[in-house]
Amino acid sequence: MTDHKAARTVVRILKVARTIADLEGAEDLEAKHLSEAVQYRTLDRNLWV
């Protein structure tokens, strides 16, 4: 069950990173997009715990 949750988390982070890249007009995902997506995930978890 834990692996399934981890996989879902990775997919969500990738979707958010892709959205960030799209809003920026970038064709490829870059480390900065992933970093920003992870920061949003951390912020989201801190607010709802």
Interval 14-33: pLDDT, tens: 999 999 999 999 999 999 99
- d(CA 22, CA 14) in angstroms, rounded, equals 12
Q: What is the pLDDT of residue 43?
A: 74
As a whole number, mean pLDDT of residues 30-40 equals 96
Estimate the crossing angle of helix 31-48 against helix 2-24, to 10 degrees.
120
| Residue 30 CB contacts under 8 Å (≥ 6 apart), including other chains | 21
Q: Which pLDDT band holds residue 47 (cuts at 50, 70, 90)?
A: low
Taking every pair of Cα atoms in the chain, the longest distance, rounded to a whole number of angstroms, is 36
Q: What are the residue boundaries of the structural domains of the chain, listed by start?
A: 2-48
H helices of 1-49, where?
2-24, 31-48
